[in-house]
A = this chain, B = another copy of it.
Amino acid sequence: MNQLHDYINNNKDRFLNELFELLKIPSISADSNYKPQVLQTADHVANALTKAGCENIQILATKGNPVVYADKIIDTNLPTVLVYGHYDVQPADPIELWDTPAFEPTIKKTEIHPEGAIFARGACDDKGQMFMHIKAIEFLIATNQLPCNVKFMIEGEEEVGSPSLAPFIKEHAELFKNDVILISDTGMISNNQPSITTGLRGLSYVEVEVTGPNRDLHSGFYGGAVANPINILSQMIAKLHDENNHITIPGFYDDVYQLSTEERSEMAKAPFEQKDYNKALNIEEEWGEKDYSTLERSTVRPTLDVNGIWGGYIGEGAKTVLPSKAFAKISMRLVPGQDPDKITDLFTDYFKSLAPKSVKVVVKPHHGGKAYRTPLDSIGYQAAYKAYAETFTNKPIPQPSGGSIPIVSLFSEVFKSHTILMGFGLNSDAIHSPNEHYGLFNFYKGIETIPFFYKYFSEIHQQNA
């Protein structure tokens, strides 16, 4: 690859400044108060793609936040790479736990990032990683080395489960037609040991509401005689796991892909120290489904977590209220075989069955998505493997992730192409948490590695043609 290192070195500061401008806009898709900033960010991304040399820039309307489209078609006989990313970010709550403001990007050194890391909401997930692709394409176009066609699909609702994207891509299937989908929205094992994410968990996300009496009551006059929706909700949540931390929803495990003994022993070889893991989280003991390892629990086994709970008086001091309502947000991570709609139905039926007659229960599905696996023998996986091997000292290893990108399984259905998850983040990046950050090493290494994916993908594609 000609001029790659020179190009990156000569533009290092500009790349960073441009990313900072992107990170400063609080494009929080979960909170409708930030809608103007979300739209502003879509414009910003469109401008960045124009500056990179892309063509046919479009900000396409969806039922929700818009999708930014751009392409560079050099020859319709050559294969097309579709780059998917998202410009929306998670809320910054709890903001009081950020050491520097979430939307004022700051460079700080850490033990893992001695050369510095960018601290900001979205630094890794996904503005920083998505922006590497724009800069990699800028390099390939500027130096006349783009070996195939490229299209961009940068959306604004990933952090709320991409609710508008499914109908959108079906409608625009021709525009986004591709031979492989490339996404950097995941991580790797360490800066010395790259890895390629070969699996994502699916998701079912619901919000539940338990109503007791028709109004908030004085707990002195009614306590003990009227069902308290917080106590009842707690009891219902408690019943969702048994004493071995298996999920108790009838039928929940029916379609779960069970790993073979061989697959399990292959997984067990991945570098992992429970002691270090516990120390990093300051927990005395891990937790989870009996008879499975931490790595299995967090990647290939389905789970159920309460992501939020609220009810009654949560202000300062004491209020003796027996509240009318209590709420929880509950998500289930799914594995290959499980259908999110079926799981949501199973949850709903079971959860309602746990309620005593003294309360009413509403279950509102938020969003869902199927799990996904990348075939290791696909051209895309092989190209990614060679790209990492070119720029890192160690060869990459395949690794399933416990996270979800709900739209990925739909991509494979609509486009009949594979998705390659070339993530450059680290587990310690604190995405979705206060003090999210992304290493400068990782940012520049991504820009360096991505061009090789295009090179090898085009080469192997031609060999197989």
Contact = CB atoms under 8 A, between A and B. Distances in A.
Taking residues whose C-beta sits less than 8 angstroms from the other chain, chain A's interface range is: 35 or more
A289 to B, nearest CB: 7
Interface in A11-48: 29-32
Nearest to A316: B31
A431 to B, nearest CB: 6
A222 interface: yes
A156 interface: no
A403 B220 contact: yes
B312 A308 contact: yes
Interface stretch (A232-240, A249-257, A386-394): A232-240
A218 interface: yes
Contact of A404 (B220, B241, B283, B322): B220
Interface in A306-336: 306-323, 326-329, 331, 333
Contacts of A217: 281, 432-433
B284 A401 contact: no
This chain: copies in complex: 2
Interface centre among A286, A318, A329, A358 (most CB of B within 10 A): A318
Interface stretch (A77-85, A166-174, A295-303): A295-303
Contact of A223 (B220, B281, B312, B402): B402
A219 B204 CA distance: 12
Contacts of A6: none
A201 interface: yes
Contact of A318 (B214, B218, B367): B367
Interface stretch (A89-97, A414-422, A449-457): A89-97
Contacts of A309: 230, 233-234, 309-312, 314, 326
A221 B403 CA distance: 5
Given A226-B286, A358-B286, A427-B221, A216 B305 contact: no
A113 interface: no
Given A234-B238, A238-B234, A357-B284, A320 B307 contact: yes
Interface of A: 29-32, 90-91, 93-94, 97, 159-161, 201, 203, 205, 207, 212-228, 230-231, 233-235, 237-241, 281-289, 294-295, 297-298, 301-323, 326-329, 331, 333, 356-359, 366-367, 401-404, 427, 430-435
Counting from the closest, the 8 A-B pairs by CB-CB distance are A224-B303, A220-B403, A30-B317, A238-B238, A308-B312, A227-B287, A234-B237, A214-B282
17 contacts: A30-B316, A91-B319, A160-B318, A212-B283, A214-B282, A218-B431, A218-B432, A226-B281, A231-B240, A238-B238, A307-B319, A308-B311, A308-B312, A310-B310, A314-B329, A320-B432, A321-B432
